[in-house]
Structure 1
Amino acid sequence: MGNPKAFLTIPRKEAGYRPIHDRILDFSEVEQTLNSNDRRQQASRCMDCGVPFCHWACPLGNKAPEWNDALYKGDWEQAYRLLNSTNDFPEFTGR
């Protein structure tokens, strides 16, 4: 795990949405994505708490702390394996 107190120093960053005047012209994704560096930084904000809300509240039982750690380390294959271990269709239901 990176710095377990990173959530105190790294502000939360959201990608946001495409402008409405662009969205009404097509059927592309509405939500934008963060770049790789920003995603890694956001993954480092995991608090690694004892009973993480993100884990027990997930109806799929996703292993969010482990998944965030793999993302932080840049191990995309391990992150996908963790996500796929609890969910056969993470691209649909993990959004």
Structure 2
Amino acid sequence: MEQLQVRILLQHVQGATIAYFYNRESFDLLNIKKHTYDESQFIEIGNTLEYEGEEYVVRKINFKMEKQLFEVDNNYGTNIYSPTSPSNFNCQIGVFVDNT
């Protein structure tokens, strides 16, 4: 059985792609506060995120299940939207933000 392998899309509500996040290292770039009782982190509508010195407010979140596993070949090229090397994914969490 295929496990879920997710990437997070950070996109402006007006359509501009800001970044894709594929792993914990890249997720930590959002500077999301950790809950004191278990150090978990949430992305929720109304929350403020910070990325590359810009602050954004979360307006919408969705989950997309892909028809197939997309295997990302890290041998050549780069993904200009990803702060770290991309990895395989079969689902995507879309986080749609607006300027604060």
> TM-score, normalised on structure 1?
0.22
Of Structure 1 and Structure 2, the greater helix share is in 1
User: Based on CA coordinates, which of the two structures has the bigger radius of gyration?
Assistant: 1
Which gives a bigger RCO, structure 1 or 2 (Cα 8 Å, sep 6+)? 2
